[in-house]
Amino acid sequence: AILAQEPHRSATNFPQAPVTSATMSHPRLRSVMLLLLLMAVLGAAFEPLSWEEAYRRAEETLARMDVPLLFVTGLCERQSFANNLLYQNLGTTKGGAPYFSVGGYYLYFDPHCDGNASTPARWVLSESDPDVDADHDLDGDGLCSLDMHVKSTNFTMPPMGTQEWQMRCAEGEAVSSANVTLRMVPQGEKLSLLKGHSFYKLKLRYTQRDYWYVGNTDAIPRLDLPSFNMQDAGAGFRPTSPGMAGKATVWPSLLCMAATWDPEAVRSYSEAMGREFRGKGANAILGPSINVHRVARNGRNFEYLSGEDPYLGAKLVKGYVQGVQSEGVFAVVKHWVFNQQETNRSSESSIVDDKTAWELYYPPYQAAVDAGVAAVMCSYNKVDSEYSCGNSKQFKVLKESMGFKGFVQSDWWATHNTSIAAGLDQEMPGIGSDVEHHGAFFDANVLMAAEQETID
């Protein structure tokens, strides 16, 4: 809210009365005079806004509300959302019914869950994956009572309740897209976009849920906004759950692609990889990695598209970014910045002067920004003794000097404080790690203390 006072109501313009000993001796009058004196002091220290300035600020705020917050594009015919759960279609059973993963469980249709022909058909929610080649009793236990289920004769779609929702999609192979503005998104939904989820605590460690993506955000069904389904990326779609093995293409590493010295080959490679990610329900690829090699024994050099040459990296990253994003999958360029080694990666500090940074290490990132990359991932290391994911100087280089207009997310558990004001936009994976003593710094109750304009 913007408060303004007309000039004649300024505290400094109140008529001044002479102060006498009689005036000050009356307790009530003395209190009034002290209050007037306080108002005069405050008025001198904090000049009220003029009406013109108040209206100007209000108009700026209203204009910002209609600027597109997100331009959402992504494949969605494999997803449905009901009762706050995302259903991921995994295929069909022998009987032709679809089956799904739901938050680490499996949802499938079983004609006779105990193998008895007189037992009514039902949809089953189970921890174990079904035998999709079986005619009935798809979990093979000969029982119905051990699984959550609901009786139904409709094998084409599970009963999802009154909140059923199917994401609106374009026809055929096209992908749907939409502009989302601040005016459309209430505060709670805004905050849900700023942190991920997909991991849960199992005893003393955090574990990714089966058949969830490496990174996920909440969908907003009311706006037809899909969840961000983000997956690694170093040499193709990374299998992370039982049953994924053998179902993903092993692509050449990015260092191999760098060795081709061929921007067109990289473009074709990234388009094909983007199609595979899209077909597996992902709408984000956590790549490319583009750091210029500095340490020959760095354990992740094979992931980096630049090799040892910033000029080569800058030439190749354009084709990668535009190729992936042409398939309706957004790219996340990483690891920002000066992430040159794996040894002590969470504690080492990289010190790079500006001239060296712009000549050797920034060019591939500038090229990615110029190519329209949607997101940037900040790294585990420190820069000038300050963690990369809270380094306001480096975020200023990225967002102001380079002109990056997308969003910055942390590497998984690379956030060390609530650094939204410094320039971090999204904490991943969104849950704390007891092992590394990290917390969930972008929880809603924490973010509420941040400036509203920063959140917007």
Q: Which residues are catalytic?
A: 411
Q: Which residue has the tokens 């969470």?
A: 346
Structure tokens at 76: 């969605």
Contact 119, 145 (CB under 8 A): no
Q: Which two tokens stand for residue 137?
A: 């009793």
HEC string of 34-100 equals: HHHHHHHHHHHHCCCECHHHHHHHHHHHHHHHCCEEEEEEECCCCEEEECCEEEEEEEECCCCCEEE
Q: For residue 166, which amino acid is it?
A: Q
Answer whether 121's CB lies under 8 Å from 154's CB: no
HEC string of 280-342? CCCCEECCCECCCCCCCCCCCHHHECCCCCHHHHHHHHHHHHHHHHCCCCEEEEEEECCCCCC
Cα-based torsion angle of the residue sequence 139, 144, 145, 146 in order, rounded to the nearest 10 degrees? 0
